[in-house]
Amino acid sequence: MGLDTLTPSSLADARTAVRTAVVRRVRVPLPTRVARAATLVGGLALAGSTFLAWTWTPAFPGDLTVTGYPGGLQVLTLILGAAVAVFALASYGVRGLGWLVPAGATAALRRLALGGFAVTWFTVIAIAVELDGLANLEPGGVVAAVAAAVPLVGAWALPDDTREPGPARELPDAVEILVIAAVLALGLLVFTYGIGTSYGQLFGGFLIAVGFGCAALARAGLARRLTALTARHRSVTTAAAFLAAAAFPFTQSDDRYATVAANILVFATVALGLNVVVGLAGLLDLGYVAFLGVGAYTAALVSGSPASSIHGFQLPFWAAALAGAAAAMLFGVIIGAPTLRLHGDYLAIVTLGFGEIFRITVNNLDGVSGPDVTGGPNGIPNIPDLDILGFDFGAEHVVFGVTLGRFANYYLLLLVVTAIVVLVFRRVGDSRIGRGWVAIREDETAARAMGINTFKLKLMAFALGAALAGLAGTVQAHITYTVVPEQYLFAGPVPPNSAFLLAAVVLGGMGSITGPLLGAALLYLIPAKLEFLQEGQLLAFGVALILLMRFRPEGLVRDRGHEAEFHTEPNVDAKAGV
């Protein structure tokens, strides 16, 4: 309609239509208004309750007896309560908060409210168990327990407003890179807080809070937008992620948590190598930890240990690393060549047997039951620290005014190894060989019918995965000072072992890069942090596995191929908000 066609009657009709639309927008049904108010007020009340004392005695870890200063688990409740209030304001349509909920606010509010309720009641129950009874709660704890239920009820009473998020507004490249850097800095802060939790109850609450927080961000549609942002700046994101990880030792005052971080990186790097075999090629390998052992024993033999059977022989680290990777690759070819014609459970049984054969063999090469090569049950001790270009990894060094201890040094070295593994995984996964592996994983018969040499590609996957594990093993040998057969079990109380490695790949997300890294970090930290559960650790771990497989069968980080495999209904992403 042009300006010359406007008449007084048409203008009046337009004003009436606008007025009607505004009235309809303002006239929200009463139950919805009550639910929104309950969610907002409940979130504020929950956050406010953390400034009250929850118990009368400091015997409970974190000292929740201080009024006016949240501590311990109260901090997590405060964060979740404040997040509920902010997202409730976003559901009201407050100007400036719409970017928080591009896919709708209700689903995100429900997850945040449920997280606040879970953390609060987890704390209340922990107080009752630790101090022998609910009588140890102060009025502030009772207020928090009641306040936690208010936003939960309000959020579930809200109507579902899930929608397909529209395209995000284009921002200058510099601004988008700053957003990515801010997100990675936040991730470093969260990781540092989690790894630095000083008692099991706080780590348990941390897991609950992070789990529900990430679910809320996904339901709000922010995860999808962040994924699109990082996809546009893939190289920058990868480099920034490693820079953020490299900054971790500089946030620590001692080597205590650098030790944990270094062990996590060993576990994560090996899990990423296993992801080549399981995630890309679809080969179930239950003896993968043996390749880690091959690399570790090779490095121990050629690194100048006094207990090494190769006396007076020491290679520089780069040569020892290549020797460990090559030896593991050779073993991968030797084991894979006669066994990779098997499929499914039969292949899994054979690889499980290989893992046990490796452990028994190195246990018997002690000079009594067999040749003196590996030292038998005593292993190869006294492996010297690395010295690369004059940099002694066993000594403390001051860098940028921060003292880096032994484990911080090895953590940074492992970060370089992890970067190499990630680079190899990404380049191979995007190559013709990687696409052939995915085709074999999806349907080997169809891949063979299309002319793919499935045996050759499976053998390449087996060899490459073994080489990556061997590379990580060369660093592990120097970190632990010694290698013994008991480190390379199929299943054991301490990772890495084959069962935990496979669990890290499956839970993290097969076929993805960040999935196994995240899965390995969680599976290493959970047994170490939840010692207060004692015999209940395995029970809690089993329940977590069941829930994750039920609600997130494709893993924590989704791979597109597995997502299509596990979800067959249309528009599942729109429903999930990710």
Is 459 in the same domain as 367?
yes
User: Is 404 part of a structural domain of the chain?
Assistant: no
Of 201, 235, 269, the position where a domain reaches its end is: 235
Helix 173-195 with 514-529: angle, nearest 10 deg: 20
User: Is 244 part of a structural domain of the chain?
Assistant: no
Domain total for the chain? 2
Closest to 116 (Cα-Cα) out of 33, 51, 197, 39: 39
Band (pLDDT 50/70/90 cuts) for residue 328 is: very high
Band (pLDDT 50/70/90 cuts) for residue 372 is: confident
Question: pLDDT value at position 10?
Answer: 55
Name which of 73-87, 318-332, 553-567 the model is least confident about: 553-567
Question: pLDDT value at position 574?
Answer: 39
**Contact yes or no for 71/63 (Cβ under 8 A):** yes
User: Is 130 part of a structural domain of the chain?
Assistant: yes
User: Is 12 part of a structural domain of the chain?
Assistant: no
Helix 73-91 with 106-131: angle, nearest 10 deg: 160
**Contact yes or no for 396/406 (Cβ under 8 A):** yes
Residue 417 has pLDDT above 70, yes or no: yes
pLDDT, mean of residues 126-140: 88
Query: Per-residue pLDDT tens for 471-498?
Result: 988 988 888 888 888 888 877 666 677 8
Question: pLDDT value at position 565?
Answer: 52
- 212/226 Cα distance (integer angstroms): 18
User: Is 3 part of a structural domain of the chain?
Assistant: no
Buried b (16+ CB within 10 A) or exposed e, 85-102: bebbbbbeeeeebeebbb
Is 231 in the same domain as 262?
no
Max mean pLDDT among 116-125, 171-180, 534-543, 561-570 falls in 116-125
Question: pLDDT value at position 327?
Answer: 92
pLDDT, mean of residues 437-441: 87
User: Is 240 part of a structural domain of the chain?
Assistant: no
- Please provide the average confidence, as pLDDT, over all residues in the chain: 82
pTM (2 d.p.): 0.80
Question: pLDDT value at position 562?
Answer: 52
Is 264 in the same domain as 324?
yes
Residue 573 has pLDDT above 50, yes or no: no
Question: pLDDT value at position 120?
Answer: 94
Question: pLDDT value at position 560?
Answer: 59
Query: 571: which 2 tokens?
Result: 């528009």
Question: pLDDT value at position 82?
Answer: 94
What CATH number does the domain containing 499 carry? Answer: 1.10.3470
Is 62 in the same domain as 209?
yes
pLDDT, mean of residues 543-561: 74
pLDDT, mean of residues 204-215: 90
Higher pLDDT among residues 262 and 1, named by residue: 262
Is 525 in the same domain as 380?
yes
Phi-psi region of 28 (alpha: psi -120 to 50; beta: other; left: phi over 0): beta
| Residues spanned by the domain of 516 | 252-394+413-576
User: Is 369 part of a structural domain of the chain?
Assistant: yes
Is 271 in the same domain as 205?
no
Is 316 in the same domain as 454?
yes
Question: pLDDT value at position 86?
Answer: 92
Higher pLDDT among residues 543 and 43, named by residue: 43
Residue 570 has pLDDT above 50, yes or no: no
**Contact yes or no for 70/50 (Cβ under 8 A):** yes
Band (pLDDT 50/70/90 cuts) for residue 532 is: low
Question: pLDDT value at position 175?
Answer: 85
Higher pLDDT among residues 399 and 208, named by residue: 208
Is 462 in the same domain as 499?
yes
Higher pLDDT among residues 578 and 435, named by residue: 435
Query: Per-residue pLDDT tens for 441-467?
Result: 888 888 888 888 888 888 898 899 899
- 396/405 Cα distance (integer angstroms): 5
pLDDT, mean of residues 512-532: 79
- 78/385 Cα distance (integer angstroms): 45
Query: Per-residue pLDDT tens for 4-35?
Result: 454 555 545 555 554 444 434 456 687 888 88
Amino acid residing at 176: E
Is 256 in the same domain as 384?
yes
Query: Per-residue pLDDT tens for 271-287?
Result: 888 888 888 888 888 88
Query: Per-residue pLDDT tens for 291-321?
Result: 998 999 998 888 888 878 787 778 888 888 8
Question: pLDDT value at position 406?
Answer: 85
Give the residue ranges of DSSP H helices in 61-172. 73-91, 106-131, 139-157
User: Is 484 part of a structural domain of the chain?
Assistant: yes
Query: 13: which 2 tokens?
Result: 């009709």
Residue 341 has pLDDT above 60, yes or no: yes
Of 206, 235, 264, the position where a domain reaches its end is: 235
Is 566 in the same domain as 424?
yes
CA dist 236 to 201, 339, 505, Å?
A: 37, 41, 25
Question: pLDDT value at position 571?
Answer: 43
Is 269 in the same domain as 200?
no
Question: Residue 387: helix, strand or coil by DSSP?
Answer: strand
- 99/85 Cα distance (integer angstroms): 15
Is 212 in the same domain as 264?
no
- 183/272 Cα distance (integer angstroms): 23
Question: pLDDT value at position 24?
Answer: 44
Question: pLDDT value at position 7?
Answer: 57
